[in-house]
Amino acid sequence: MPEPDKAPRDEKRLTNEEIAYTLHEIGELLDIQGESVFRVQAYDRAATAIRNLARDVADIYDEGGLKALQTIPGVGKSTALKIVEMLQTGKSSRLEELRKSLPPSLVAMSEIPGIGPKKIKRLYDELGVATLEQLEGAAKAGRVRELRGMSAKTEENILKGIEAFRQHHERILLYDAYPVAERVVTELSSSAAVERVDPAGSLRRFKETIGDIDILASSRKAEEVMEKFATLPEVREVVARGPTKSSVRTRAGLQVDLRVVTPDQYGAALQYFTGSKAHNIHLRELAKKRNLKINEYGVFDVETDKRVAGATEEEVYAQLGLPWIPPTLREDKGEIEAAAEGRLPKLIQLEDVRGDLHVHTNWSDGSPKIDEVAEAAIELGYEYVAITDHGYKLGITGGLEPSELERQIKETEEVNRRYPRITILAGSEVSIDNEGKVDFDDDLLARLDIVNASIHAGFNQDRKQLTERTLAAIENPHVDIVCHPTGRLLGRRDAYDIDLDEVFKTAAKHKKVLELNAWPNRLDLKDDYLREAKSHGVRFAISTDSHRLEELHFMFYGIVTAQRGWLGPDDAINTLPLDELKRLLGIGDVG
Q: Which fold has domain 266-340?
A: Beta Polymerase; domain 3 (3.30.210)
**Which pLDDT belongs to residue 308?**
96
**Average pLDDT value for residue range 93-101:** 87
Walk across the sheet containing 255-261 and list its strands: 196-199, 213-218, 255-261, 245-250, 235-241
Q: What percent of the chain has pLDDT over 90?
A: 65
Alpha carbons within 13 A on the beta-carbon side of 123: 31
**Average pLDDT value for residue range 225-240:** 91
Which CATH code for domain 106-169? 1.10.150.20
Least confident of 268-282, 391-405, 482-496, 510-524: 391-405
CATH class held by domain 172-260: alpha beta
Which of the four pLDDT bands, split at 50, 70 and 90, describes residue 7? very low
Is the alpha carbon torsion for 359, 361, 367, 370 positive or negative? positive
The CB density around residue 208, as the number of other CB atoms within 10 Å, is 22
**Average pLDDT value for residue range 461-471:** 95
Which of the four pLDDT bands, split at 50, 70 and 90, describes residue 397? low
| Residues 384/340, Cβ–Cβ less than 8 Å | no
**Which pLDDT belongs to residue 1?**
35
**Average pLDDT value for residue range 482-494:** 90
Least confident of 71-80, 104-113, 222-231, 255-264: 104-113
Delimit the CATH 1.10.150.110 region(s) of the chain: 16-102
**Which pLDDT belongs to residue 244?**
94
Count the helix, strand and coil residues of the chain and give each as a percent rounded to the nearest 5: 50, 15, 35
The CB density around residue 63, as the number of other CB atoms within 10 Å, is 10
**Which pLDDT belongs to residue 84?**
92
**Which pLDDT belongs to residue 562?**
98
**Which pLDDT belongs to residue 589?**
44
Q: pLDDT averaged over the chain?
A: 90
> What's phi and psi for 294, nearest 5 deg?
-125, 135
Secondary structure of 262-317 as H, E, C letters: CHHHHHHHHHHHHCCHHHHHHHHHHHHHCCEEEECCEEEECCCCCEEECCCHHHHH
**Which pLDDT belongs to residue 396?**
67
Which of the four pLDDT bands, split at 50, 70 and 90, describes residue 4? very low
Q: What percent of the chain has pLDDT over 70?
A: 95
Going by C-alpha positions, the residue among 44, 36, 3 that lies closest to residue 20 is 44
Ranked by mean pLDDT, which of 21-25, 443-447, 490-494 comes out on top?
443-447
**Average pLDDT value for residue range 516-527:** 96
Delimit the CATH 1.10.150.20 region(s) of the chain: 106-169
Q: Which fold has domain 16-102?
A: DNA polymerase; domain 1 (1.10.150)
100 vs 434: which has the higher pLDDT: 434
Burial 128-153 (b: 16+ CB within 10 A, else e): ebbebebbbebbeeebbeeeeebeee
**Average pLDDT value for residue range 185-211:** 95
Contacts of 71 (CB under 8 A, 6+ apart): 64
Its pTM stands at 0.77
Q: Which CATH superfamily is domain 350-585 in?
A: Metal-dependent hydrolases (3.20.20.140)
52 vs 224: which has the higher pLDDT: 224
DSSP 8-state assignment for residue 97: H
What tens digit of pLDDT does each residue of 295-314 get? 999 999 999 999 999 999 99
